[in-house]
Each structure stands twice: as C-alpha cells, then as structure tokens.
Amino acid sequence: MPGSDSLRVRAMVEGAIAAALATVLAMIGYYLPPLSMVVSLVWFIPIVIVIVRQNMYWGVMSLVVTAIVLMMMTHPIRGLIIILQMGFVALVYGQGFKNQWSPGKIILSGGLVVVISTLLVIGLSVLAMGVNIGEWQQEMTNQMDHSLDFYSQMGLINDRTISEEELRASMQQFISFFGLVIPGILVSGSLLTALVNFLVVRLILKRTGFEVKPIPPFREWQLPWYFIWGIIGGLGMMLLGDYFNITLINRIGINILYIYFPILLISGLAVVTFYYHQIKLARWIKIVIIVLMVMYLPFAVMLLATMGLFDPVFNYRRLGN
C-alpha cells in the first residue's frame, strides 16, 4: 500500500539520519578526547529518538549501522567498546520512553544494562587489548616509590609526624584496595553516566514535544524491596570467598558492595530529606542537625547507607508503589 510504503521510507530515512548523527558524535568524542565526557552523554540520543518516533526495529538497525561505521573509521575493538558502553542503554531508554515506563523503571532497567555492558567492556579490554590490572598496580607502586624517595631527599617527610615507612605502607594499602575495586569503580561511574544520560534524554524529548512522565520529588525516591538481595549476595560472596580462601569470589563480593554503597547512600539521603520536610522543627534546629552531620561525616555516611539499606524492606515513609 502507498501509505505503508511512505511510512516505511520515512522510518528508513529517520534511521539513517540517526545513525549518521550518532556516528559523527561518537567519532568527535574518539578523536577529541577533551570532549569525550560531554559526547558520552549525547551521542546515542538520536538512536533513542528513532525508537520513540518509530519502533525498536529501526533503533536496532541504526545502532548496527553506527557500530559498523565506527569500527571501520576508528578501530574495531575501540569502536565495539564505544557501542557496548552506551549503545544497549539507548535501546532500553528508547523502549522505556516509548512505552511510558515510570522514571524508576527506566533508570533501573538502564542501570542493569549498564552493569552488564561495563563488565563486557572490562572483559573485552582484558582479552583483546591486553589490559592488566596487576601491571597497572605495579606501575603505580613504582611511581609511589620514586615520589617518596624524592620527598625524603628534599626533607619534606618528617619522622616526628609520620615516618616514611608508615606513609609508604599506607599508600601501598590504598593502591592495593584501589586495584581491588577497579571493576566496581568503573561500574559505579557507568551507573552515574547512565543516570545523567537519562536526565539529558528526558530533557531533550520533553523539549521536542514528546510526553514524558514526571520525576517524583527526591524525598520520595525509593528502591524496590528486591534490591536488598544484591547486598545479601555481595556480602555472602565476600564472606564465602574469605572463608574458603577463594580470591575471585571474595573480590566479586567486595565490588558488588562497593557498587551498592553510593546507591544506598542516595536512598538514605532521600529518607532524611523526606523527614526534614515532614517533621515540624524550628529552622535553627534543622541547621544544627545538618552541621552535626557534616562534622561527624563518617558516622553520618554510615547512618545514611544503613537507612537506605533497610528502607526498601520496612518502608519507613509509607510510600506507595
């Protein structure tokens, strides 16, 4: 039928334009590293818009074309890494906005895809590009030794406050821990990027006339109850690996807990913000509470994370679904 042919041609043209825009933006980020952070927030948005305006089929086609061109114009592995980082998130966001999912469902679905994508990127980097965390840690240790030797020769290290051996041991401990949680750091960074991407995509869709569901106030943000199973799994793997001396399982558990911690912190902060608005206290009392939290920041952080951990189960605020 002429009408259906016209719609198909229109969808094909929009898909081609989206693939071209996404490719150009991704290549700008690749060849101009200072712009890579900004580009990572927007390069996949044309794919999302195609899915919202047309359907998932044309979004997937646009993403495939973008991947092929990127792998040809940059480097096969690096092009694939760019697609893995945010390409599948574009598909999830596009489907979510098209079907009017709630903001929470879109963010959680995108977050899950980001975690899987980041793990694939890490695996690809290790297998195909020879990235070795052990060598990286050794390089950091060597740099630390050179720096400490220089500071010691210049007389900048005073044994009356902290000895060179104590400082060296502390820095070595930090390097070891940093190397341990690198996967968690990368996943956490990707989750943060996915959240910012969601906000950017939502803003652009709203500006271009698409109907988007409102984001609830921060004080009403709440994790789903089943979210706590990730904490239980991470803690169990950490303890199991430590008990049976299985390093890999122990490290996986530690990284899971590392990823969950900032999420629980945000959840706990939402709980505190809710009661900050609900409880009628004098303004000066609220200011004093905030000052005390800042003064005793480590305790406050642990308290917020604990509140965020149990809030999905006990629903302190009696929020609905």
Residue 190 · residue 116 · CB < 8 Å: no
Work out the pLDDT band at 260, boundaries 50, 70, 90: very high
Hey, what long-range contacts does 275-283 have (CB within 8 A, 24 or more apart)?
A: 275/317, 276/219, 277/219
- Mean pLDDT of the region 293-302: 90
State pLDDT tens for residues 185-221.
888 888 888 888 899 999 998 888 888 889 889 999 9
State pLDDT tens for residues 76-100.
888 898 898 889 999 999 999 999 9
pLDDT at 155 over 70: no
- Mean pLDDT of the region 147-159: 67
Q: Among 41-45, 129-133, 185-189, 206-210, where is mean pLDDT lowest? A: 129-133
| DSSP secondary structure code for residue 213 in this structure | P
Q: Does the global pTM surpass 0.95?
A: no
d(CA 277, CA 110): 30
Work out the pLDDT band at 1, boundaries 50, 70, 90: very low
Among the four given CATH numbers 1.10.357, 2.60.40, 1.20.120, 1.10.1760, the one describing domain 1-130+185-215: 1.10.1760
Q: What's the whole-number average pLDDT of the chain?
A: 86
Domain residues of the chain, as ranges?
A: 1-130+185-215, 132-180, 216-321
d(CA 63, CA 57): 10
Predicted pLDDT of residue 142: 76
